[in-house]
Amino acid sequence: MSLLIGTGFLVVLILMLTLSMIGLRYVSETNQRLKQIAENNNIKTELATEMHTALLERALSIRALPIITDPFDLDEEIQHFGAQGNLYLQARLRIEAMQLSPAENAILKQIRALTRRSQPEVEAAVEMSILKTDQAKLLAMILHTAIPKQKLIIEQVGALLDLQRKQTAAAVREAEISHVRMRGLMIGLGLAALLTGGAIAWFVSRQVARQAEQLTNQALFDELTGLANRSLLLNHLNYEIKSARRNPYAFGVALMDLDRFKEVNDTLGHDVGDELLREVGKRLKKIVRSGDMVARLGGDEYVLVLRGLTETGIPRIAESIRLALDLPFHWKNQSIDIGASLGVSLFHPGISDPSELIRQADIAMYIAKRSGKGYALYAPDQEHSRNELSFKSELREAIHQNQLSLYFQPQIDHQRGCIVGVEALVRWNHPSRGFLVPDRFISMAEDAGLIDALTHWVLRHALIHLATLNRQGHHLTMSVNLSARNLHDLNLPATVSELLAETGVASGKLKLEITESAIMANPKDSLSILTELDHMGVTLAIDDFGTGYSSLAYLKQLPVDELKIDKSFVIDLEKRENDAVIVRSTIDLAHNLGLKVTAEGVETQAIWDTLSILGCDFSQGYLMGRAMPAEKLAIWLQESGWSQSPLAAPQRVPAA
């Protein structure tokens, strides 16, 4: 009897172990497979959406070619047409590089074939537009050949989007089917193993259900906030568009971007930033109706899909959002204030693509942020802002892909008449906009939140070049300009310290230049950051001195080592008595405070001589050398008389 009981117990135990091993392995493999399908489909959907948007933009561009008369506008439209073609091709190539189903391969094969067949007509239309040949023939070619073929490609891309949505839905259904099958298996084996087997079946079934639910959430919901993600948002918008076409009703999209969120992340940490994002999502959910949707696109961007929204209702929803965010966010004993900019686009029968509604809302949001009015409704005349958005995207790529370059201007010691340092000045050789100086893109970098990355790039490459110069026997200092936004970054001293350690440059060889207005815009944080940099041994200079409105009493508190006289006071020093008085007074003031003085804009020997008489310490300007790339600086250091160390500066002609 005991043998039978023992055997029965052993059988039950074996069934339990078998059940556990089979069930857990099946769950793991199924969930991993479904997770990969969901992730791949999300990526494919985004890429297919990019293809679809680019093709629509190209269709609009080619339709506009015959009616554009201004050659510059025509050239700009052709460049935009080509850029959208590149976006379309890059997205298609990325999809083709992924693991594809036979149905996807078939559609992509059709897209490739249609693209090849339409290419000659498209190229011919562009060429005829450039040459301004037979306009009637050009228009006929576009309307009856080029655009219909483009529409065929767009339809195939639309079919690819539909396929992605169906595959995502199929993955969710497969998860549900797997749950049902596994539950049945567990129950059967559980009955065979009596009560113990049943308990195991119940446990594993619960695990399967929970993981299936997690997979569904990962595919359709934002992990951080629990709000709808981009995939679910696009599906919902597509449903709203189709419904509004069948039974016309009003609805709109509001895209919201938080203001000052980066400051929260930088000062309080990403954990606090994540908690703030979750709380914002909760507040937005409270102010919308049950039929509306709140989604998170990523970062600090949210999208609201609002039924019944008309132009007259926009101020009300903007006010509701403002009031929701006006209530302080509390973290420990600290209160955090946050604002937002809102861009709104309204559905109309001409819109069939959900991404178009989001794109229009994004443009309007950019207008709202730039104007400071809090919200803006999309209008077609705002499309010019697309170029600025594109410009910011190109700048971000230029920073990350090392497409920028540094130019260096020599700084000369008046007593020794030789070079003692260089100032690093960033340049951007843009592929279509040409050679750009900092004034063309620094403010845009600040607006786009790219100034920290840009400053990091300049600092790192300037210090790398200074290390190279030091190894070659040129023991110079390196001056780098800081933006006003950099003085909000409390991590700046740590960043500088890391770069100095990385490049092996002594801290005293680095000179950071800050304008008066930048310091006065944020005096408390500026003083803290500058003090820490000063303790590190970094030289600090106030740039463009005399053009701001800083207090002399406050100037005494700053741990600066040098004043730089703005070139507007130097360039006419010999002609304007007031400028001479300002320069003389600035030099005397600086020396009385124990500071050195550098004059900018020295273009003639007479100005050099006057500055020497007034006791100026250093100068830079066209007389000694223009800003030049690294390879020309190397030649200048070999050939220029200013690179030597004579007792007195000889007479020299301005550098070329």
So what's the pLDDT on residue 648?
34
Q: Report d(CA 510, CA 421) in Å as an integer.
A: 10
Verify that 244 and 173 share a domain, yes or no.
no
The answer to whether residue 621 is domain-embedded is: yes
Verify that 364 and 407 share a domain, yes or no.
no
So what's the pLDDT on residue 82?
82
Six-digit token string for 129: 């537009």
Domain stops at, among 352, 378, 404: 378
Verify that 514 and 578 share a domain, yes or no.
yes
Contact 244, 347 (CB under 8 A): yes
**Residue of 16, 13, 34, 15 whose CA lies nearest to 208:** 34
DSSP 22: H
Six-digit token string for 301: 């961007």
Contact 450, 489 (CB under 8 A): no
Verify that 213 and 248 share a domain, yes or no.
no
The answer to whether residue 643 is domain-embedded is: no
Domain stops at, among 355, 378, 401: 378
The answer to whether residue 479 is domain-embedded is: yes
So what's the pLDDT on residue 190?
60
225 Cβ neighbours under 8 A, 6+ residues apart: 277, 278, 281, 296
Verify that 80 and 146 share a domain, yes or no.
yes
So what's the pLDDT on residue 647?
33
pTM of the model as a whole: 0.47
The backbone torsions φ and ψ at residue 355, rounded to the nearest 5 degrees and listed phi first, read -65, -30
Q: Report d(CA 478, CA 639) in Å as an integer.
A: 20
Verify that 365 and 396 share a domain, yes or no.
no
Domain stops at, among 188, 220, 252: 220
CATH number for the domain including 397?
3.20.20.450
Verify that 559 and 439 share a domain, yes or no.
yes
Count structural domains, the chain. 3
Verify that 174 and 61 share a domain, yes or no.
yes
Q: Report d(CA 347, CA 431) in Å as an integer.
A: 36
So what's the pLDDT on residue 189?
62
The answer to whether residue 225 is domain-embedded is: no
Verify that 586 and 446 share a domain, yes or no.
yes
248 Cβ neighbours under 8 A, 6+ residues apart: 349
The pLDDT averaged over each successive group of 10 residues in the chain (656 residues) is 46 65 67 66 80 81 76 81 84 84 85 83 75 71 77 83 79 71 66 60 71 71 90 93 92 92 82 91 93 90 94 93 88 82 93 91 86 87 65 80 91 95 93 82 78 93 96 94 88 95 96 85 84 95 73 72 92 88 92 94 94 96 95 93 54 34
So what's the pLDDT on residue 238?
94
Q: Is the dihedral of CA 177, 179, 180, 182 positive or negative?
A: positive
So what's the pLDDT on residue 13?
65
- Amino acid, res. 271: D
CATH number for the domain including 112?
1.20.120.1730
So what's the pLDDT on residue 433?
78
The answer to whether residue 30 is domain-embedded is: yes
Give me the domain span that covers residue 510: 391-637
Q: Report d(CA 356, CA 33) in Å as an integer.
A: 32
Verify that 54 and 11 share a domain, yes or no.
yes
Contact 62, 142 (CB under 8 A): yes
Q: Report d(CA 589, CA 566) in Å as an integer.
A: 15
So what's the pLDDT on residue 277?
93
The answer to whether residue 647 is domain-embedded is: no
Verify that 626 and 532 share a domain, yes or no.
yes
CATH number for the domain including 309?
3.30.70.270
Contact 343, 366 (CB under 8 A): yes
| SS3 labels along 292-342 | CEEEEEECCEEEEEEECCCHHHHHHHHHHHHHHHHCCEEECCEEECCEEEE
So what's the pLDDT on residue 651?
33
Verify that 184 and 275 share a domain, yes or no.
no
The answer to whether residue 316 is domain-embedded is: yes
The answer to whether residue 385 is domain-embedded is: no
Q: Which spans in 472-614 are helix H?
A: 492-503, 516-521, 523-536, 552-557, 567-570, 577-592, 605-614
